[in-house]
């Protein structure tokens, strides 16, 4: 009986450690939180009429830091996308990697 208790304790400890975060990786809860933030930022960008097609903006989140990438028509659209991302609760920082489309394309 004691061996069974020890085995169960070790199994529980192993499972708990497997789901926790480390300095270089995210735990299960953090991945879920980041996915939720990504969805909220995409929704906020899509709501803004001045941004244009939200599908052209890629949104990634890592530990609360949102990264915007893709192409927009002008600086005003880029600024609006950054503002929309910053307005979402839980976003700790926004990295703007948006590019302005060349004229005529």
> pLDDT per residue over 76-99, tens digit each?
999 999 999 999 999 999 999 999
Q: Mean of the per-residue pLDDT values for the chain?
A: 80
In a domain, 67, yes or no: yes
Yes or no: say if 88 and 40 are a contact pair by the CB < 8 Å rule.
Answer: yes
Q: Where are the alpha helices (DSSP H) in 1-105?
A: 2-18, 28-47, 75-86
In a domain, 55, yes or no: yes
CA 66 to chain CA mean position, Å: 5
Residue range of the domain that includes 95? 27-100
CATH code of residue 69: 3.30.1340
Question: What's the confidence (pLDDT) of residue 15?
Answer: 55
In a domain, 84, yes or no: yes
In a domain, 11, yes or no: no
Q: Report percent pLDDT > 70 for the chain.
A: 65
Q: How many domains does the chain have?
A: 1
């Amino acid at each position: 009986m004691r061996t069974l208790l020890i085995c169960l304790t070790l199994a529980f400890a192993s499972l708990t450690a497997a789901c926790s975060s480390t300095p270089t990786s995210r735990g299960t809860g953090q991945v879920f939180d980041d996915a939720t933030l990504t969805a909220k930022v995409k929704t906020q960008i899509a709501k803004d009429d001045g941004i244009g097609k939200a599908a052209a903006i890629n949104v990634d989140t890592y530990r609360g830091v949102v990264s915007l990438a893709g192409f927009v028509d002008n600086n005003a659209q880029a600024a609006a996308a950054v503002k929309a991302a910053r307005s979402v609760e839980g976003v700790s920082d926004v990295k703007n990697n948006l590019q302005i489309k060349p004229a005529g394309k």
